[in-house]
Structure 1
């Protein structure tokens, strides 16, 4: 009998009994008030007169009117650079204990995003919320005695002056509570290995020692790890070595593109739970099994605003125009893409995180990630967002009975000076002509997107497709020192970056 598991499950059920539904609009008002109150004496707070803002009759409206939008480049240039010059109380009281290193999917140089002790607490509290939400998924008691494989970046953080630096997954894993360490795999020693391939090799070699009940990590890297374990032990599927695997916690990217290839590695279905942990904070987590949408963490250190995702509000570099309107959580609607704006206990203010989302349930504050502002392809008016591209990939998978976990696209001029959409699809598909795939992709996008259909009848001359091994995408990330961890492949490239990509593919 799973005695410990029954105790843990009992505590979770008891907590759920005494929990009440969150009023997300009220929770957000309180979070904003707390943020401004705590930061009013910082350099940023004094510059933007937080103390005066706190006296406003409508704080949310006054905040939106008086504080400009910031992306990383802007806030770093104007404020965060001071943190590296031994200044304190810049955008948040004191100095951050950590900086999350994020090269993201678009930047040429690494971003250094402050992570304060308050943010570490907020992330931990959000993680506890996720644990308690497991009660909604009807998991057996013995699940709570199994080990959890958390595959992130290295926990061997770099010391720099008075702080530590690393990817956010490494920072959070290095701060796991002591009581959780016995459940946490691959363990501290292996997690500190910097080289991703070496770390995965160590996991494969020791896989038989562990009784894994749950996996957590970016889908593409989790798949590669599972493939390595299966190959090393000559298995048919991962359940032959981890028979009690029941849960996979995805994060950071939509799981849909990886669902088919991920399930091919399993011996039986597992419960997939989506989470949304970014370098800037723990944004949302799935709290019920009836949906794969995630609930925003509205009461936990992050204030959210939402800008309707429309071409006339977005600059070419993906930043927001100052006149773009921002809505509070009580003003949003269903079936509308929004640019996500956050203000946090790490001193990010009206910060463009780079993701777009849509609400699936406004009352529950449940969302889905729909794409990236910089991955919105609007050359010649095609208005393609990542969610539309992902949907097209799923249709291709069904039509050609294959998997396409990775892809990238560029709108570029051909030798005839006409614009083409040039796609590279990561797939093991054989025996099908690329032109046939291109026609199917083109038809799918035409039927799903009227703007794309109009563009195809005018300035968008055609569609070209190249099918390559998914391994080429992982090699590209490795070449750019972005293998493993929180890394996400860029779905849309500009012509300069795409030229580098094509040279890389040809060389390999």
Structure 2
């Protein structure tokens, strides 16, 4: 692990050279694939050539190639055999996405990311006793590839793909066993996981905050306690990712009441493992530059452009919003993953996730992004003593005789004593951190005070269940520029009233 820290220091010192070499290597490896021949990879000699030759791809653009891979063809996007696909439904589109996962992507990206995460943690916490017990991982499930059912090909949540392919030694230090961890019946799986893991010496948790909370609550109920340290006294770290930890921080402090508990953030997705928190007590992540991924960045003002301008790593600036574009060792070429990030540092390159390109509210020119919403929620909670479990928000459109606004549905674990005060604090923080929102709120000229619904515990769980979105990589959509999700949720609440 200490040796790997020295390797990482190499891209600390030479980040741009490491990235240019990565692009050269990816192009060389794939030059004889169908995609490589189509775009003349053999003749590409520079990043400028690459940009001019290969168009930016959305999932819809690249799916025809992926579909052929799923039907059993090979050497289409990447030269090695592809038999695994990470299934991702996203949160704005009900249709599933299937992301190819090569052996190189597993070895040099996902597995390497897991090992580096542990290296960073041990480096920051040399007194750790994490290895004296087991890691509890909440994964998804996988199934035979229905596009090619007679082949040895599968798809599933990226967590399930990783867990199924882990080396044998890794299976001995995690819990529960694969046959339980990869069950597809989510409610039954949580129940079984709670029973099994409540008898184990769990020292570390790995997973999405939403579903980890659900498991912890099941264990607490099973053991008739309100402190998870009564069950897992040696628990010392939660490695989390997929959604922002900000709204959940206070709830975890309540569930795990220990000042010594550590929280380490990761940025891993179906498409790859991108970033790791490398400093104790920080919410920044180091952008990992030697994982078989070449990065490009679309500036905020270009998000909606048909042919957006892209920047290489050496052209980005601190504090600006960028959409990530990736080229990977699984055959994604100049692929828009839909995530937005901000650089907090360029020496080394550290980032924060700021949202999704399709997850924002901009119905009136207010440009509210997920990062704004989470900061405002966190401050309103802090000042009112509230703790939230989940939330979503959408615009209220202009109507005859009424002005526009935002409507929020919030599920609290600990409710604020005064919801009106909470709403004003939420609004004030949004105005303080977003000048566009503040301008629209000035004297209620375009936007009025937000509407906030306080909904019963379990509302979001039941809504996700109704939509077939329990478990795995599924996440509650935080913000939407239309009312599709919000109206669906409100309709369900109304029907139960």
TM bucket (normalised to shorter chain) is: over 0.9
Change (3 A) 1:470 1:280: farther
Change (3 A) 1:413 1:292: closer
CA separation in 2, counterparts of 1:495 and 1:260? 29
Q: Which residues in structure 2 correspond to 1:233-244 (within 5 Å)?
A: 233-244=223-234
Q: Which residues in structure 2 correspond to 1:63-74 (within 5 Å)?
A: 63-74=50-61
Equivalent in the alignment of 2:397: 413
1:391 to 2:375 alignment: yes
Q: 1:287-314, CA deviations, whole angstroms, 9 ceiling, x for partnerless residues?
A: 221522111221111111111122xx22
The alignment partner of 2:358 has SS state of helix
The question of whether the paired residues in 2 share the 8 Å contact of 1:240 and 1:267 is answered with no
1:335 to 2:325 alignment: no
The question of whether the paired residues in 2 share the 8 Å contact of 1:428 and 1:469 is answered with no
The alignment partner of 2:212 has SS state of helix
CA separation in 2, counterparts of 1:35 and 1:346? 10
Q: Which residues in structure 2 correspond to 1:13-412 (within 5 Å)?
A: 13=2, 16=5, 20-22=9-11, 23-53=14-44, 56=45, 59-77=46-64, 79-122=65-108, 123-140=110-127, 142-154=129-141, 156-160=142-146, 161=148, 162=151, 163-269=153-259, 270-289=261-280, 291-310=282-301, 313-315=302-304, 320-322=305-307, 324-412=308-396
Change (3 A) 1:293 1:110: same
The question of whether the paired residues in 1 share the 8 Å contact of 2:319 and 2:343 is answered with yes
Structure 2: state its 5+ residue gaps.
none
**C-alpha deviation, 1:331, in angstroms:** 1.4
Q: Which one is further off, 373-382 or 137-146?
A: 137-146
Structure 1: state its 5+ residue gaps.
1-11
Q: Structure 2 residue aligned with 1:449, among 431, 434, 446?
A: 434
The question of whether the paired residues in 2 share the 8 Å contact of 1:89 and 1:95 is answered with yes
Q: 1:170-226, CA deviations, whole angstroms, 9 ceiling, x for partnerless residues?
A: 000111111111111112121132112211111222234211110000001101111
CA separation in 2, counterparts of 1:175 and 1:80? 21
CA separation in 2, counterparts of 1:372 and 1:430? 28
**C-alpha deviation, 1:462, in angstroms:** 4.1
**C-alpha deviation, 1:121, in angstroms:** 1.3
The alignment partner of 1:359 has SS state of strand
CA separation in 2, counterparts of 1:393 and 1:352? 29
Q: Structure 2 residue aligned with 1:476, among 443, 447, 463?
A: 463
Q: CA RMSD in A?
A: 2.0
The question of whether the paired residues in 2 share the 8 Å contact of 1:435 and 1:464 is answered with no
The alignment partner of 1:492 has SS state of coil
**C-alpha deviation, 1:372, in angstroms:** 0.7
CA separation in 1, counterparts of 2:396 and 2:60? 26
The question of whether the paired residues in 2 share the 8 Å contact of 1:293 and 1:367 is answered with yes
Q: Which one is further off, 293-302 or 453-462?
A: 453-462
Equivalent in the alignment of 1:8: none
CA separation in 1, counterparts of 2:345 and 2:9? 18
**C-alpha deviation, 1:365, in angstroms:** 1.7
CA separation in 2, counterparts of 1:80 and 1:396? 44
Equivalent in the alignment of 1:488: 475
The alignment partner of 1:170 has SS state of helix
